[in-house]
Amino acid sequence: MPLVGGHDLLAAAERGGYAVPGFNVSNIELALGVIDAAEARRAPLLLQFNPANLKHFGGLKVAAAAARALAARAEVPVAVHLDHGSSVAMLRAAVQVGFTSLMFDGSTLPLERNIRDTREAYAVALEAGVALEAELGHVGGREPGVAISEAALTRPAAARRFVAETQVDALAVSVGTAHGLAGEVDLELVRELRAATRGLPLVLHGGSGVRSGPLRDAVNAGIRKLNVSTELHAAFARAIAGVSGDDPRPALGAARAAVADVAARRIEQLGAALQA
């Protein structure tokens, strides 16, 4: 399958009534593990890199080259996504090296500043022909490489204004989840935000803490992309720790398989299986 853009994946998820997984990866084995799961379940996915992942991978250029190479050989559609882009300059650099989907995170800024900066980010995405996700409200918790402050739920009236003035392609919303392994989804708020944004694809960050039933309900309410990071990295670390010896390759293989197991479960819960 060819490398695809975020527009393609979001549009397909909207038509099919499912959510596409955005898997945050920080090394090759993690990336291979989530692709293994997607291929086994015939699901599309986004390979995502937040600032901490990028640092571990060797920077934007190296991450883009590796992810694009993996996407090119994958049997399912794969987009390469910048997660929690912290500046317009960072987004511009990402499209120059080959990212096919972007997120600008101005969620810790005052509303007026978030709108202004997101409009600048949208201009970069529009010129490059890639999708732009932004965040309104603020998803709290803890995750390396993500700017975190106290959680603030997304208000429907603010979301209506934000989307109208920025024209973003997807909106990450704060509806009770948290980065890390915590949080519950306020389904009524998801429905209100979906209506306020006139059916815009909504994104749920902090997916690692969401149980299967509430996640399915959130997808039915309008979530079209789920970010998963912590539980993938935790599975990887546990598997590595469980294999001894002087050769790291068996441990890395076990970690890849453990990541694939976690990713496969999320794919099923999102309704993304058999969608590629």
Distance CA 211, CA 217 (A): 10
Secondary structure (DSSP) of 19-75: -EEEEE-SSHHHHHHHHHHHHHHT--EEEEE-HHHHHHHTSHHHHHHHHHHHHHH-S
User: For residue 197, what is the DSSP state?
Assistant: T
From 36, 83, 105, 117, active-site residue: 83
For 220, list phi and psi in degrees, rounded to 5: -60, -30
Q: What are 104's strand-pairing partners?
A: 85, 134
What tokens does 10 get? 């979001």
Residue 188 · residue 156 · CB < 8 Å: no
Tell me whether residue 105 is one of the annotated catalytic residues: no
Residue 85 · residue 107 · CB < 8 Å: no
Distance CA 235, CA 254 (A): 10
Residue given tokens 């399912």 in the structure block: 76
Orientation of helix 248-270 relative to helix 28-41, angle to 10°: 40
* Centroid of chain to Cα 106: 16
Question: Which active-site residues does the annotation give?
Answer: 83
